[in-house]
Structure 1
């Protein structure tokens, strides 16, 4: 298993080395790998398509090319994925997505995170939260917003390596644990 993780790490490093170091390109690669990882995890047919030795490499590459066009991913990413198709290692895609996000943070001093809110907020408030997190972490952040009424109030911000939880739900749980409620 260690060898497979190391292969995923090397593939991600190769992608990072090959692609242009422009913010838009880097984010397009992240979106492409994310879509591919999600589809691979959730769609058994797609997973079987990429793992089947009976399906031509050309068909697999054509499918990857079509998907890459939708995300405007550079051809350098396809070159790395072609190698994975050759050695029947497309199962590494979810791990590669995780590792790419870590590289994204290093490369751009940027965090890609998830902001969970109890309800929709106006743009001014969202921008204030983003700026506060930016200042706190000393990095530019790319945010995906999700709603979860269960957190009651406040927000939760998550990245690969960091969680900032100001939710009312968590505060109430802490009080309950220490006997305050």
Structure 2
């Protein structure tokens, strides 16, 4: 099994085992969020010097009664099989799996200036019509684009930025050759 297949395999198993995959994803989202904001907590689970039994006890004490039994069991399985370090990647793979099943696509949009709600709505409509999927847009402002936007999803990129347009103009000018002997005078 390849490194990238591990998160996908566990995510698919978790989604299949859950009666409500969306709720399971929300629980996993909360847990991953805790690990992001509490690096000491994450380090505890990543440290090989701490015994698995101690990690499992902390896991139970922290999450029992706060998450579903399925999610808690899933975390224990990851811990026992030495896959706990993949938790964040499993969470991302689970979101992708649920989006795929629901016909949704997550796209990252960088723009400058930040797109208005009306512009985002229009962009969603155009993407939906072109790619026959619902789009969830994650928007971020990026002044380096000078103007316009870049949309990235799956293996595709749509670059409508001023930076890209200027790069194309520059390349066209560099590629064009002036005839030999032509002299321009003012």
TM more than 0.5: yes
Q: Which runs of 5+ in 1 are unaligned?
A: none
Name 1:159's counterpart in structure 2: 153
Query: Which residue of the other structure, out of 103, 118, 123, is the alignment partner of 2:97?
Result: 103
Query: Which residue of the other structure, out of 51, 72, 80, is the alignment partner of 2:74?
Result: 80
Q: How do 1:30-179 and structure 2 match up within 5 A?
A: 31-32=29-30, 35=33, 39=36, 45-52=40-47, 53-54=50-51, 55-63=54-62, 65=63, 75-179=69-173
Alpha-carbon distance between aligned partners in 2 of 1:161 and 1:104, rounded to the nearest angstrom: 18
Q: CA deviation at 1:117?
A: 1.5
Alpha-carbon distance between aligned partners in 1 of 2:122 and 2:24, rounded to the nearest angstrom: 25
| Greater Rg by CA | 2
The DSSP-based 3-state class of the residue aligned with 1:56 is helix
Instruction: Write 1 or 2 for the structure with the bigger share of helix.
Output: 1
Gap change, CA 1:7 and 1:126, over 3 Å in 2: closer
Q: Which runs of 5+ in 2 are unaligned?
A: 176-186
Give the root-mean-square deviation of aligned CA atoms.
3.2
Give the total of aligned pairs: 171
Where has structure 1 moved over 4 Å in runs of 4 or more?
none
Gap change, CA 1:161 and 1:56, over 3 Å in 2: same
TM-score of the aligned structures, taking structure 1 as reference length: 0.74
